[in-house]
Amino acid sequence: MRWSKSLIPTLKEDPADAEAISHKLMVRAGLVRQLAAGIYVYLPLGQRVMDRITAIIREEMNAIGGQEITMPVIHPAELWQASGRWGTIGDEMFRLKDRYQRDLCLGMTHEEVIAWIAAREIHSYRDLPQLWYQIQTKERDEARPKSGVLRTREFVMKDSYSLDRDMAGLDVQYEAHRQAYCRIFDRCGLRYAVVESDPGMMGGAGSHEFMAASPAGEDQVALCGACGYAANVELAASRPRPGGAFPPPTAGLAEVPTPNARTIAEVCALLQIEPALTIKSLVVMGGDGPVLALVRGDQQLRERKLERAIGAFRPAHRDEVREATGVEPGSVGPVGLPIRIIADECLRTGCYVAGANKPDTHLLGVVPGRDFQAEFADLHEANAGDGCGRCGAPLAVERVIEVGNIFKLGTKYSVSLKAVYLDEQGQERPIVMGSYGIGPARIAAAAIEQNHDAHGIIWPETIAPFQVHLLVVNAKEPKMAGVAEQLHVDLSGAGLDVLYDDREERPGVKFKDADLLGLPLRVTVGSRVVKDGVVEIRRRRTGEEIAVSPGEVVGRVRGLLGQAAARPVERAER
Ligand code: ATP
Ligand code: MG
């Protein structure tokens, strides 16, 4: 492709609103433009990257028996009402009415439509298993679209859905997906971790997330270098450092006045103690009324963990706290409180300072188990340096981008949408489903996050918009132009994807743009072709350069590309 006839609007400056490197570089390299908040146009180079990525995804989905379909973007409300999600999903769902005032929504995901198809087309155990997938546009009115294409309100997703007779069948398709996903992310050149996650709004029996390391990520994972444990911090199990030297338990409790000290920090400053010697008390409203949740003062409560322990809840309002405890939030504590109490495992031992359920008062010498009874559960956030929940070695915590996930859905959607089959005994049974997503745009952005330098992108070969950047230093110099034109023909004729920078621009501009675009190999036709009859082939990643005669270029380029492809993709040992 000739640059002079293409739309590749590179920019010298970073866009003002961009923070993530991938966002800056995708805009500067002319891959995308923002039409509105979280809504993007993919320009030719961006589209080529997406095409490369989706081609890899398609190959790997087909290899595990996936059948490609396309489902609509517009859905009738009835499907989502039947599953219950019309009510449970809030503003994230785009809703609209048609001319007859019928409710519709824009598809955020397609479990309901899949169950609808299955309810009509799957009849017997002989029709199962099935694996259906699509690469299609999703619409979500995200609360905070940000970081370029990493979180947008319209985005392409590969979503696949497995349908099985039973859990054993689901396990097989789930494992096939796990492996296919690893191949996809390996082939796209990502460093990533596969982590156990929280099924969230999907509901179900297990899920994993594929997390690519990047400071632009919104998620955090806890990773153990010793045993390979990897989990989202939302749910990661850890053994926090001991809370320091506990004072020996006193025979009884002692009240201490704590005027104006409401937060843990204020209480600690007043009493001259470490936060780890205090209990943090939080009142929440669960399904059966108020619950007091406790963590050690130096720890943070993780909502997902509490939800796992007590089911859905919300923070209590001030008046609900007052009604349940008789005091304002800052003085609440577990001793003598007649409501359900759930405490983090760290609090099984020790002797603490806690709120006294009296205004401006705390209790010293509180011993869990002696002074109050509680259920215990893992409620605390895993921090870097905590012991691994599995082996005890120190955990690292890393920022990551979720590039894909896999869920064991079970029968939630098949039951509510009546997707059933007749088993060998003629018994009606709900189809067992799995659902699996990948965001190609996030793969592209994560690849840039992990592969760039001060000058621009360094594309992994497999997903680069072109393989070769052919650059003529002076398009008006006859010898240079002649050689470059011939190389364009030869390289393209050899089946290589070539971007030919034939513009009449200053060499400095062209070299800068080449680095910014980051194609794997640059072939430069410059003054050396006039003097010595050679052109230069340069590898973007390493800067290695070789000089060859024009006739050798196709062979050498092929070899260099092949070499890199043959190299094992660098991948985290997790
Ligand atoms: P997140 O927790 O980041 O919001 P999610 O759990 O909502 O993601 P899924 O609904 O499971 O994600 O979607 C599957 C995949 O689609 C994700 O792993 C991600 O790669 C991609 N994806 C999800 N939301 C977005 C978005 N707003 N913009 C771009 N890609 C997205
Ligand atoms: Mg989401």
**CA-proximal residue: ligand 1, atom 28 (nearest):** 151
420 phi and psi, to 5 degrees?
A: -125, 165
Ligand 1 pocket mutation pick from 142, 442, 443, 449 by most atoms within 8 angstroms of CB: 442
CATH of region 3-206+407-449: 3.30.930.10
Spacing, Cα 318 to ligand 1 middle (Å): 34
Residue 228, Ramachandran bin (φ over 0: left; ψ between -120 and 50: alpha; else beta): left
**CATH H superfamily, domain 254-377:** YbaK/aminoacyl-tRNA synthetase-associated domain (3.90.960.10)
Predicted confidence at residue 568, as pLDDT, reads 43
Question: pLDDT of the chain along its 574 residues, tens only?
Answer: 999 999 999 999 999 989 999 999 999 999 999 999 999 999 999 999 999 999 999 999 999 999 999 999 999 999 999 999 999 999 999 999 999 999 999 999 999 999 999 999 999 999 999 999 999 999 999 999 989 999 999 999 999 999 999 999 999 999 999 999 999 999 999 999 999 776 544 445 688 999 999 999 999 999 999 998 888 898 899 998 887 666 666 778 999 999 989 899 999 999 999 999 999 999 999 999 999 999 999 999 999 999 999 999 999 999 999 999 999 888 999 999 999 999 999 999 999 999 999 999 999 999 999 999 999 999 999 999 999 999 999 999 999 999 999 999 999 999 999 999 999 999 999 999 999 999 999 999 999 999 999 999 999 999 999 999 999 999 999 999 999 999 999 999 999 999 999 999 999 999 999 999 999 999 999 999 999 999 999 999 999 999 999 999 999 999 999 765 544 444 433 3
- List C-alpha distances in Å: 235 to 379, 507, 549: 9, 53, 58
Query: What's the helix, strand, coil split of the chain in %, to 5?
Result: 30, 30, 35
Predicted confidence at residue 262, as pLDDT, reads 87
How many other CB atoms are found less than 10 A from the CB of residue 313? 17
Judge if the beta carbon of residue 155 lies within 6 A of ligand 1: yes
Distance CA 383, CA 364 (A): 27
Judge if the beta carbon of residue 332 lies within 6 A of ligand 1: no
Domain 466-565: CATH class, spelled out: alpha beta
Predicted confidence at residue 102, as pLDDT, reads 98
- Beta carbons within 8 Å of 176's beta carbon, 6+ residues apart: 64, 65
**CA-proximal residue: ligand 1, atom 1 (nearest):** 402
Q: Which ligand sits closest to the CA of 152?
A: 1
Spacing, Cα 221 to ligand 2 middle (Å): 17
Spacing, Cα 174 to ligand 1 middle (Å): 18
**CA-proximal residue: ligand 1, atom 13 (nearest):** 437
Predicted confidence at residue 228, as pLDDT, reads 87
Tokens coding 388: 């691994």
- Burial (CB count <10 Å: 0-12, 13-18, 19+), residue 279: buried
Predicted confidence at residue 567, as pLDDT, reads 46
Residue 151 CA, closest ligand 1 atom number: 28
Tokens coding 358: 């009296």
pLDDT tens, residue by residue, 130-184: 999 999 999 999 999 989 999 999 999 999 999 999 999 999 999 999 999 999 9
The secondary structure of 451-466 as a DSSP string is SEETTEE---GGG-S-
Spacing, Cα 408 to ligand 2 middle (Å): 17
Predicted confidence at residue 537, as pLDDT, reads 98
Residues paired with residue 571 on neighbouring β-strands, in sequence order: none
Residue 145 CA, closest ligand 1 atom number: 27
- Beta carbons within 8 Å of 120's beta carbon, 6+ residues apart: none
Spacing, Cα 170 to ligand 2 middle (Å): 24
Judge if the beta carbon of residue 147 lies within 6 A of ligand 1: no
Q: Domains of the chain: which residue ranges?
A: 3-206+407-449, 254-377, 466-565
Spacing, Cα 36 to ligand 2 middle (Å): 19
